[in-house]
């Protein structure tokens, strides 16, 4: 891996293997980034993560980030999961399945290759996936943007995601005023439990057992198995999580006639889930 300073606040990272800015930020795992037209790159996204405004772009197999080299090593390399051997993971995802199911999984892996599971802030992921219930991505983004602008910190033209303490202090009625609908009471309950220490997210992160970690999250009103799974996958790095939504149900019913035992994927279940989701959403017929 080679890092080259580009000037104007950008660095270029070469030798990162299969990594796609477009696929990673287009697969529904985060809601703070938007595509930005820029003739210098094949694809660029701007947004906020880990309390910082940042831009990611790609061209000719190289990654470009608007940051310092120090920030890359301390934040973005881990955030983008560039410290993980996805080639080995992809091989294991295919080989762990019965031979009759490998062809379908190979197609999904080939289609989704380049996706990395972002290591997002746990509180932001929890709140975001509560908001995502029975919702669409444009509306989710709009709610999160309004919430951040009102209760987050100004970080120079952008806003950080509000803390649990800030949303707890705002109260359920103010959260509802952000057009969160029925989710307002769930967001408030999550904020209350986290802000008061009734739910310790560090303790959730420390659990070796997936079921125990999920059970802690499901103590929040409105958080069921799917929201808990999404939160653990995208906010806690629990790649053994396998969220099941309509897309996943659809691809399993269509492609795996005898069903799919996702436990076979082991610690790569969440990565396999993203490949299946991306494949069915964009290629499945």
* Contact (Cβ atoms closer than 8 angstroms) between residue 90 and residue 24: no
Region of residue 9 (left: phi > 0; alpha: psi -120 to 50; beta: else) = left
Closest of 247, 261, 210 to residue 232, by C-alpha: 210
Quick one: tokens of 266? 């082991």
Map tokens 């802690």 to a residue.
Answer: 216
Q: What contacts 111, CB < 8 A, 6 or more positions away? A: 275, 278, 279, 282, 283
Catalytically active residues are 226
* All domains of the chain in start order, with CATH: 2-83 (3.30.310.260), 122-235 (1.10.340.30)
* Contact (Cβ atoms closer than 8 angstroms) between residue 267 and residue 240: yes
Map tokens 């069921």 to a residue.
Answer: 224
* Contact (Cβ atoms closer than 8 angstroms) between residue 102 and residue 51: no
Sign of the Cα pseudo-torsion (273, 277, 283, 285, in order): positive
* Contact (Cβ atoms closer than 8 angstroms) between residue 126 and residue 89: no
Q: What is the DSSP letter of 163?
A: P
Q: What is the pLDDT of residue 257?
A: 83
Residue 38 to residues 26, 64, 246, Cα–Cα distance (Å): 17, 12, 34
Chunked mean pLDDT (size 10), the chain, 285 residues: 84 93 95 97 98 97 95 97 96 95 94 97 98 95 98 95 98 98 98 98 98 98 97 98 92 89 96 94 74
Report d(CA 158, CA 152) in Å as an integer.
9
Q: What is the pLDDT of residue 200?
A: 98
What is the model's pTM? 0.95
Q: What is the pLDDT of residue 285?
A: 62
């Amino acid at each position: 891996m080679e890092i080259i300073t580009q000037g104007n606040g950008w660095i270029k990272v070469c030798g990162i293997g299969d990594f796609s800015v477009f696929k990673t930020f287009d697969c529904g795992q985060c809601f703070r980034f938007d595509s930005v037209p820029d003739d210098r790159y094949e694809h660029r996204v701007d947004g906020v993560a880990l309390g910082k405004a940042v831009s990611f772009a790609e061209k000719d197999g190289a990654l470009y980030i608007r940051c310092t080299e120090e920030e890359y090593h301390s934040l973005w390399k881990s955030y983008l999961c560039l410290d993980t051997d996805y080639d080995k993971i992809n091989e294991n995802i295919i080989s762990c399945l019965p031979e009759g199911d490998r062809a379908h999984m190979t197609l999904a892996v080939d289609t989704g290759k380049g996706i990395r599971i972002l290591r997002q802030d746990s509180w932001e992921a929890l709140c975001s996936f509560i908001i995502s219930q029975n919702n669409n991505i444009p509306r989710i983004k709009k709610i999160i943007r309004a919430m951040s602008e009102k209760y987050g910190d100004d970080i120079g033209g952008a806003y950080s995601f509000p803390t649990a303490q800030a949303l707890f202090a705002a109260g359920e009625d103010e959260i509802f005023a952000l057009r969160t609908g029925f989710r307002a009471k769930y967001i408030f309950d999550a904020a209350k439990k986290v802000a008061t220490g009734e739910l310790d997210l560090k303790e959730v992160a420390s659990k070796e057992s997936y079921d125990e970690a999920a059970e802690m999250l499901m103590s929040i009103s409105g958080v069921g198995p799917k929201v808990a799974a999404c939160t653990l996958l995208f906010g806690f790095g629990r790649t053994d999580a396998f969220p099941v939504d309509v897309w996943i149900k659809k691809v399993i019913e269509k492609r795996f006639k005898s069903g799919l035992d996702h436990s076979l994927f082991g610690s790569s279940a969440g990565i396999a889930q993203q490949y299946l989701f991306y494949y069915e959403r964009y290629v499945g017929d």
